Amino acid sequence: MKTLAAPTYWRQACVELAAADPVMAGLIARYPDAILANRGDPFQTLARAIVGQQISVKAADSVWARFAEFARHVTPEHVATLELEALAACGLSRRKAEYLRDLAGHFADGRVEPGRWKKMEDEAVIAELTDVRGIGRWTAEMFLIFSLRRPDVWPLDDIGLQRAVAMHYLGGERPTPKTLRHHGERHAPWRTVATWYLWRSLDPGVVQY
């Protein structure tokens, strides 16, 4: 089930970002339909992220549909028991099949435990997720933004964020990681919200993950 609504902190964040930064003020005024999707089940969200790596959205949806039909129960305990060859027959590469099994194992044995994330800092959640094969920092940060809806995530490796900061603040020059990190400090503690509006400035569609 996907939740389509802005988090409770969004309004306060917009007021403070707009007051501190004229670029943000303009973007916030331009895009009033703030929606931050939450796809629901953490295991399925991360599994879909693995399936979708380096392929088109259409292809990812097709592979996911075949995988879900074959698995029938997309739960960690069940997916951990599936044979790699059977997963590959759904259209997954051997590597992605291994990643899915590793993800399922982390959930099944408690190395990844969503119930404790509410009390964990962002970096601790990122460390827990990136311990899974196939999940890098960017994927973990997207999960923090769209599933946990954490308010202060600034994904340095995101190409869209790099492009938007270059366009609005740096005269078109792509920022270095150090420059982008420094720039993000001006938007704290609402860097997730700033990121969302900067993404919107590149794509008129509502950003979802």
Which residues partner with 5 through β-bridges?
36
Helix (H, G, I), strand (E, B) or coil at 4: strand
Q: What is the mean pLDDT of residues 143-172?
A: 94
Q: What is the mean pLDDT of residues 137-164?
A: 93
Walk me through the domains of the chain, giving residue ranges and CATH numbers. Answer: 3-38+152-202 (1.10.1670.40), 42-136 (1.10.340.30)
pLDDT at 119: 94
Token pair 């119930």: residue: 115
Alpha helices, DSSP H, located in 31-93 = 42-51, 57-71, 76-79, 84-88
Alpha-carbon span 104 to 179, nearest angstrom: 37
- Quick check: 50 and 103 in contact, CB under 8 A? yes
pLDDT at 2: 56
Percent of the chain with pLDDT over 70: 95
- Using CA atoms, how far residue 130 sits from 9, 46, 58, 89, 154, in Å, is 27, 11, 26, 26, 17
Which residues partner with 4 through β-bridges?
37
The alpha carbon of residue 189 and the mean position of all alpha carbons in its chain are separated, in whole angstroms, by 18
Q: How many CB atoms lie within 10 A of CB 135?
A: 23
pLDDT at 91: 94
Q: What is the pLDDT of residues 92-107, one digit of tens each?
A: 999 999 999 999 999 9
Specify the higher pLDDT residue, 34 or 63.
63
Read off the tokens for 78.
């069940």
Alpha-carbon span 13 to 21, nearest angstrom: 12
pLDDT at 140: 94
Tell which residue, 167, 174, 150, 173, has the closest CA to residue 201: 167
Q: How many CB atoms lie within 10 A of CB 7?
A: 16
Specify the higher pLDDT residue, 141 or 205.
141
pTM assigned to the model: 0.87
For 78, residues 6+ apart whose C-beta sits below 8 A from its C-beta are 71, 72, 104
Residue 1 has pLDDT above 60, yes or no: no
Alpha-carbon span 187 to 185, nearest angstrom: 5
